[in-house]
Amino acid sequence: MLNHTLDDQIEEGLAQLCQRDPIIDRLVKIYGKPQIQPSQESHYTSLVRSIVYQQLSGNAAGAIYKRLQRLYFETPDFDPEEILQTNNSVLRQVGLSERKVTYLKDLAQHFLDGKIKINENLSDTEIGDNLTPVKGIGQWTVDMFLIFKLSRLDVFPFTDLGIKKGLQALLKLKDYPTKEQMVEISNKWRPYRSLATWYLWEVADRGLPRSITRL
């Protein structure tokens, strides 16, 4: 039922975006429907994944994450108590930096202490306030959690490098767009900025399609 409702919201959002923005309309035709269905993993596991993937290429982060999963016998979800009890040197051996080991253990402690309480009724800002006291969780991690775990449809990750690259390509800028430019452009995609975000990532990864002109 959740996925059906989300599908309806995505379809409605795409229809509105395509109607008001011809560039998004072309990107939808080229790349299809955005892949932002919520993951089935726990909130804790989703945040572990985000920390592992911070500031790494997808391939490198994916390899480390798989080794971390194997360390715990590839169970569907990580157990914060198990991670907290694992020796730091063991976690380092899967490829995690010392800093990320600290982040993962602080996250585990917050969950075990009951300090992280997330439910669907909380606003994006309230969820951010709930998560950012954890070491290593900043706005980027919060934004990824909101989009890919909670399926919030009006999130725009201003700090994400891929978003900056995508906008730079669409705007044909010499440098990355300024925060002011990003705010001005993304405002016209409200309340479906998460959908536009997905297409900017596609542009950043694949390059600007020849049939697309500047915004």
If you average pLDDT over residues 79-101, what whole number do you get? 97
Burial string for 64-81 (b: 16+ CB within 10 Å, else e) reads bbeebbebeeeeeebbbe
Nearby residues of 212 by Cβ (< 8 Å), 6 or more positions away: 23, 26, 27, 170
**Percentage of the chain modeled with pLDDT above 90:** 80
* Sign of the C-alpha dihedral computed for residues 116, 122, 126 and 128 taken in this order: positive
How high is the pLDDT of residue 214?
55
Every domain of the chain and the residues it spans:
2-37+155-206, 43-148
7, 124, 160, 205: the active-site residue? 160
State whether CATH 1.10.340.30 applies to domain 43-148. Answer: yes
Is-cis flag, bond preceding 38, omega within 30? no
Average pLDDT of the chain to the nearest whole number: 92
State whether CATH 3.40.50.2300 applies to domain 2-37+155-206. Answer: no
Number of neighbouring beta carbons within 10 Å of residue 94: 18
Confidence of residue 1 (pLDDT cuts 50, 70, 90): very low
The string of pLDDT tens digits covering residues 42-61 is: 999 999 999 999 888 778 89
Instruction: Judge whether 160 counts as a catalytic residue.
Output: yes
The string of pLDDT tens digits covering residues 124-133 is: 999 999 999 9
Q: Is 18's pLDDT higher than 60?
A: yes
